[in-house]
Structure 1
């Protein structure tokens, strides 16, 4: 199983530079152009922050660009998830369940939540089950997986599938000793670990941090792919944050005795490594404190339905 894994495209409602002077649409085009020689790809996964402000026009552009690329490399399916910058209703209007065939049709084959609560779905390709979850907490940078989603996930995983399961969502359940990662990742990794323990999940694919990172959630490999719109540079002083130009993506290979394996691609951008924005320690601290102080109201916990039934910069 060969997967191209992208994340954090942050497309705007118009094809124009964002407030930092970065044209997110151009960054995505450049990254896809770099990946054009990849062969034998079975699926593409895009783990959230597809749009920068939840605009329908941005989701339409993502679908056209990534879907067109998927058709050109052999007609592979594309799996999309929400991120903290996304808007569920607009996501669902353009991308449906998020599980799309190369021609843009929805290919979901099993459970799906009502889109107003969570964009979570399951389908399969190449003998693997692909499950996407929704870690979006509206108005927050950090993420959380609802109890209803985790109960549904555990039920789905109770029956092993073929070669195993690929699990994808936006917020990483792992983090380095980096203040922003500690504050803005997945808030309930232990509950996720409980849900997947002993299951056939082969890998967890996430994004959000705008850099590549590998670790484990208990015994399950977790991969964080870098961002397309920009990347975070960890060479700055502790407690600060610097984003630089440069689109990135990754390739994930499953199966065989050495899997999973991961490789990162960097688009050839003449302005790569130029600073996009930089936050000093005080500004970073204030952003983290504000996130901690403003706790959201609990979201409703829907029962899953079966198909046919009813200010931080750049993260």
Structure 2
């Protein structure tokens, strides 16, 4: 059986709308959802973190309402993970476990013993959807604690009818010539790699880098989707990070002869490619996000 996911990430909506760089995050999300209206036969909408740019409840609610309306029109669930900009308390208040059905009801089963972290699982037509919480408050990089990894191993011990997808904000892969990726991605990559090796995981889906990036981890495909609020333009020098306008998303197809397939969508934005910032590519863990 095939499953199709619309994969979004890094919506960065604040309580007032714009992100910290002044980008109209609400319009960016509205644009990509509008331009993705013709994608047929969706089974799930997934948003892999940085829901609210300022970590606010209001930002999370705004994204939930926009994505939820899109999902409700198609009768499909919508699922969210935390990101480094998010606040767990606000995320929980607005999104619960992060696993919402087409009507907005919380259907996720939270991991036990994870000290309030938003790791959860739900079923989408026989496809097991597992979300992990890689948020490290006050830091840009991501980590997974041993409790989450043990819980993940327990979930994957029994195969699901149509396999599993694992979703989290911080990618467990990078390119060597982009130092910010190495510094600011998932720090404990090997723990995740070992947990998914030899299981029914069909793909690991991530965000955070605001660009599309693919690779494998112990034979499991890993995909990083472009950002909604801005896109990371890697035509800049390796020691810089260039953010440009142009919302993106991915259609993930699971099942069929080429599975998994990742198709990138770009919003029809007349200002796409316009530079928003150009900064030194030091580890952003040195930057105060507040």
Per the normalisation by structure 1, the TM-score is 0.88
**Superposed CA RMSD:** 1.6
C-alpha distance in structure 1 between counterparts of 2:86 and 2:186, whole Å: 16
C-alpha distance in structure 2 between counterparts of 1:113 and 1:28, whole Å: 33
Name the residue aligned to 1:151: 150
Larger radius of gyration: 1
Deviations 1:164-200 (A, max 9, x none): 0011000000101211101100001101111112111
CA contact (8 A) 1:97 1:112 kept: no
Name the residue aligned to 1:7: 9
C-alpha distance in structure 1 between counterparts of 2:165 and 2:216, whole Å: 14
Change (3 A) 1:86 1:114: farther
Name the residue aligned to 2:52: 51
Name the residue aligned to 1:304: none
Name the residue aligned to 1:258: 258
Name the residue aligned to 1:244: 244
CA contact (8 A) 1:92 1:115 kept: no
Name the residue aligned to 1:31: 32
CA contact (8 A) 2:77 2:99 kept: yes
5+ unaligned residues in a row in structure 2: which ranges?
A: none
Deviations 1:280-311 (A, max 9, x none): xxx433x45837xxxxxxxxxxxxxxxxxxx4
SS in 1 for 2:281: helix
SS in 1 for 2:75: coil
Change (3 A) 1:288 1:9: closer
Name the residue aligned to 2:62: 61
Change (3 A) 1:104 1:240: same
Name the residue aligned to 1:296: none
State the 1:71 CA deviation.
Answer: 1.2
